[in-house]
């Protein structure tokens, strides 16, 4: 039996899973790592935390499943987008990776957007507009603010590409990942020299780009010694985490839709041509399949809002209570809180918001705290606020003429049946979850299996390997949410100038 290894380098944790070629998950390990916030609005991670998390996961999987571990025939990988690693001439890390969450580049992005002709040039080349999300903005920040680092920078790798490099010694990226840099011509599937010139970033700092389902190298002897993997195992190029998650949920053709509640919140629609939003509200990126694109709405802090609440009010203690146990306790605690949380409304903008607002100044708000409000109300209001934000994004995507009939939903937040019900009532579209939850790694191993010749047809493989789980359908929604949703939208519009003023 062939065994495949999937690696999902998420924002909050790394998940590594062993799968049989028939899609059966043999075993899985995950390790959390921190996001450092050296200043409000900044967000960084230590790339060595990712690598060490990977080593730990591998060692544990090898100890738990020695036979399967020996039979690994290929490695598939995906990861958080945009976050970039700076390497010197000896491939040593020069500074912490700047995370996709980081908001320090608002004024840089604004500078490029101010001049309409430059804004148009960026849009023509990349199908997108400069914002704090994109690696090119972060790279500019390093160039402008840390000349001592910039001078020594010989290469820049996105998060999962750094892990691939540690595994194989090869520097490579894929089309979906390249979309998140603002240096990539999405429509023509190649780097854009015009963008490198505009941002004054030497193109040789960035690796070659190719499809997700090609082999870019094999596990080196050095990596084998550290991880316990066999030297010579082929490693696939891989894709972004939202691509792999959607792919592992079965999204392979035009107009299929996936919703993700991970750290970020995502609504992604597949198409066989780029669907561009000239009003700049949604994103258009390459998908993990050749000649396929995605139109996305992305919330900055979806699952992260609940994670923030947990970290702030139920921090890890000496008893070793796992995050999962605390989330399960939360799910239990809100069962008796009425829909609408007795008037409490949460704006989930803890770190600004991306689509459809592109507002780095926006911040989290609890509106309507009253004498009835208890801790459980805050928890439910967070789930409701995130769901309202996703509805806002769905409606924005639909305003481009895309009809969304139903969605497949994945990501850590959908482990919660109560959150799934809330989401169903708020978006009023049928939602189906996928069995096993770990769709990013399922997507990874399918792409990798294709790259090593194990699978020939994606359609057949998806049909055999992807199994749906629960479905909720609340076509009429609920009266209270229909009343609260316009208030949710109005609160942001009312507070927008105040957010700006507060940011100075």
Ligand X SMILES: Nc1ncnc2c1ncn2[C@@H]1O[C@H](COP(=O)(O)OP(=O)(O)O)[C@@H](O)[C@H]1O
Angle between helices 116-126 and 106-114 (to 10 degrees): 100
413 contacts which partner out of ligand X, ligand 5SP, none, CB within 5 to 8 A by kind?
ligand X
298 contacts which partner out of ligand X, ligand 5SP, none, CB within 5 to 8 A by kind?
ligand 5SP
Q: Which is nearer to ligand X, 80 or 84 (CB)?
A: 80
Q: Which is nearer to ligand 5SP, 80 or 351 (CB)?
A: 80
Nearest distance from C-beta of residue 180 to ligand 5SP, angstroms: 6
Q: Which is nearer to ligand X, 217 or 412 (CB)?
A: 412
438 in Cβ contact with 389 (< 8 Å)? no
CA 457, chain centre distance (Å) = 26
Q: Which is nearer to ligand X, 103 or 263 (CB)?
A: 263
Please, which residues have CB within 8 angstroms of residue 110's CB and are 6 or more apart in sequence? Answer: none
Q: Which is nearer to ligand 5SP, 3 or 261 (CB)?
A: 261
The β-bridge partners of 208 are: 172
Nearest distance from C-beta of residue 162 to ligand 5SP, angstroms: 14
100 contacts which partner out of ligand 5SP, ligand X, none, CB within 5 to 8 A by kind?
ligand 5SP
Q: Which is nearer to ligand 5SP, 80 or 256 (CB)?
A: 80
* Paired tokens of 467: 């199994």
242 contacts which partner out of ligand X, ligand 5SP, none, CB within 5 to 8 A by kind?
ligand 5SP
DSSP state of 312: H
Q: Which of 15, 11, 47, 3 is nearest to 440 (CA)?
A: 15
* Paired tokens of 458: 């994606």
Q: What is the DSSP string of 320-364?
A: ---HHHHHHHHHHHTTTSPTTGGG-EEE--BTBB-TTT-BTT---
Q: Which is nearer to ligand 5SP, 11 or 129 (CB)?
A: 11
Distances (CA, A) of 267 to 303, 391, 490: 14, 9, 22
Nearest distance from C-beta of residue 51 to ligand X, angstroms: 17
Chain residues that interact with ligand X, rule: CB under 6 A: 10-13, 262-263, 303-304, 306-307, 324, 327-328, 331, 411-413, 415-416, 419
307 contacts which partner out of ligand 5SP, ligand X, none, CB within 5 to 8 A by kind?
ligand X
Nearest distance from C-beta of residue 322 to ligand 5SP, angstroms: 19
Q: Which is nearer to ligand 5SP, 80 or 220 (CB)?
A: 80
Nearest distance from C-beta of residue 413 to ligand 5SP, angstroms: 10
Q: Which is nearer to ligand 5SP, 364 or 430 (CB)?
A: 364
60 contacts which partner out of ligand X, ligand 5SP, none, CB within 5 to 8 A by kind?
none
Nearest distance from C-beta of residue 325 to ligand X, angstroms: 9
431 in Cβ contact with 424 (< 8 Å)? yes
Q: Which is nearer to ligand 5SP, 327 or 485 (CB)?
A: 327
Nearest distance from C-beta of residue 306 to ligand X, angstroms: 4
State how far the Cα of 164 lies from the Cα of 174, in Å rounded to an integer.
Answer: 12
Distances (CA, A) of 180 to 237, 328, 446: 16, 33, 22
Q: Which is nearer to ligand X, 126 or 133 (CB)?
A: 133
348-386 burial, b at 16+ Cβ within 10 Å, e below that, comes to bbbbbbbbbbbbbbbbbbbbbeeeebeebbbbbbbbbbb
Match 């550290």 to its residue by tokens. Answer: 226
The beta-strand segments (E) located in 180-289 are 184-185, 190-191, 208-210, 215-218, 234-236, 239-240, 257-261, 265-271, 283-286
Q: Which is nearer to ligand X, 21 or 49 (CB)?
A: 49
Please, which residues have CB within 8 angstroms of residue 186's CB and are 6 or more apart in sequence? Answer: 126, 127, 128, 175, 179, 274, 284, 285, 286, 293
| H/E stretch holding 14 | strand 13-20
Nearest distance from C-beta of residue 438 to ligand 5SP, angstroms: 12
State how far the Cα of 35 lies from the Cα of 254, in Å rounded to an integer.
Answer: 35
Nearest distance from C-beta of residue 264 to ligand X, angstroms: 7
- The residue nearest ligand X at its CB is 412
258 contacts which partner out of ligand 5SP, ligand X, none, CB within 5 to 8 A by kind?
none
133 contacts which partner out of ligand 5SP, ligand X, none, CB within 5 to 8 A by kind?
ligand 5SP
327 contacts which partner out of ligand X, ligand 5SP, none, CB within 5 to 8 A by kind?
ligand X
Chain residues that interact with ligand 5SP, rule: CB under 6 A: 10-11, 80-82, 100, 133, 180, 240-242, 262-264, 298
Nearest distance from C-beta of residue 131 to ligand X, angstroms: 19
5 contacts which partner out of ligand X, ligand 5SP, none, CB within 5 to 8 A by kind?
none
84 contacts which partner out of ligand X, ligand 5SP, none, CB within 5 to 8 A by kind?
none
Q: What is the DSSP string of 264-304?
A: SEEEEEEESS----TTSSSEEEE-SSTT-EEEEEEESSSHH
419 contacts which partner out of ligand X, ligand 5SP, none, CB within 5 to 8 A by kind?
ligand X
The beta-strand segments (E) located in 21-118 are 25-32, 44-45, 72-79, 84-87, 97-98
Nearest distance from C-beta of residue 97 to ligand 5SP, angstroms: 12
Nearest distance from C-beta of residue 304 to ligand 5SP, angstroms: 8
- The residue nearest ligand 5SP at its CB is 262
């Amino acid at each position: 039996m062939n065994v495949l290894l999937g690696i999902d380098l998420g924002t909050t944790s790394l998940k590594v899973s062993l799968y049989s070629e028939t899609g059966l998950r043999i075993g899985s390990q995950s390790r959390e790592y921190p996001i450092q916030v050296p200043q409000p609005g900044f967000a960084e991670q230590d790339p060595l935390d990712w690598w060490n998390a990977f080593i730990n996961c591998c060692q544990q999987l090898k100890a738990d499943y020695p036979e399967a571990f020996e039979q690994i025939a290929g490695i598939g990988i995906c990861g958080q987008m945009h976050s970039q690693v700076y390497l010197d001439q000896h491939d040593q890390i020069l500074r912490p990776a700047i995370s996709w969450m980081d908001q320090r580049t608002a004024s840089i992005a604004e500078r490029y957007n101010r001049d309409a002709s430059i804004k148009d040039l960026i849009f023509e080349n990349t199908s997108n507009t400069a914002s704090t999300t994109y690696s090119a903005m972060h790279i500019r920040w390093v160039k402008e603010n840390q000349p001592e680092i910039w001078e020594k920078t010989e290469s820049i790798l996105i998060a999962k590409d750094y892990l691939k490099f540690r595994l194989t010694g090869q520097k490579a990226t894929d089309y979906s990942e390249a979309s998140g840099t603002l240096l990539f011509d999405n429509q023509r599937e190649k780097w854009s020299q015009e963008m490198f010139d505009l941002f004054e970033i030497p193109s040789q700092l960035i690796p070659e780009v190719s499809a997700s389902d090609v082999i870019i190298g094999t596990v080196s002897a050095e990596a084998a010694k550290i991880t316990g993997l066999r030297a010579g195992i082929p490693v696939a190029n891989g894709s972004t985490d939202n691509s792999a998650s959607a792919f592992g949920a079965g999204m392979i053709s035009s107009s299929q839709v996936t919703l993700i509640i991970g750290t970020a919140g995502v609504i992604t629609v597949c198409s066989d041509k780029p669907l561009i939003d000239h009003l700049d509200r949604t994103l258009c990126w390459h998908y993990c399949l050749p000649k396929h694109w995605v139109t996305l709405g992305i919330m900055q802090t979806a699952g992260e809002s609940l994670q923030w609440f947990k970290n702030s009010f139920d921090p890890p203690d000496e008893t070793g209570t796992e995050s999962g146990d605390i989330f399960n306790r939360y799910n239990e605690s809100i069962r008796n809180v009425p829909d609408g949380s007795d008037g409490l409304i949460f704006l989930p903008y803890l770190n600004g918001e991306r689509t459809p607002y592109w507002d780095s100044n926006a911040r989290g708000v609890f509106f309507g705290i009253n004498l009835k409000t208890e801790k459980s109300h805050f928890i439910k209001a967070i789930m409701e606020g995130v769901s309202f934000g996703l509805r806002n994004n769905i409606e924005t995507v639909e305003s481009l003429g895309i009809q969304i009939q139903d969605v497949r939903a994945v990501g850590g937040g959908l482990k919660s049946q109560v959150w799934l019900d809330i989401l169903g009532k708020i978006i009023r579209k049928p939602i189906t979850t996928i069995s096993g939850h770990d769709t990013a790694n399922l997507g990874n191993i399918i792409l990798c299996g294709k790259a090593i010749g194990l699978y020939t047809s994606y359609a057949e493989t998806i049909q055999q390997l992807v199994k749906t789980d629960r479905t909720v359908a609340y076509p009429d929604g609920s009266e209270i949410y229909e009343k609260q949703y316009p208030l949710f939208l109005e609160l942001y519009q009312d507070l927008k100038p105040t957010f700006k003023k507060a940011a100075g």
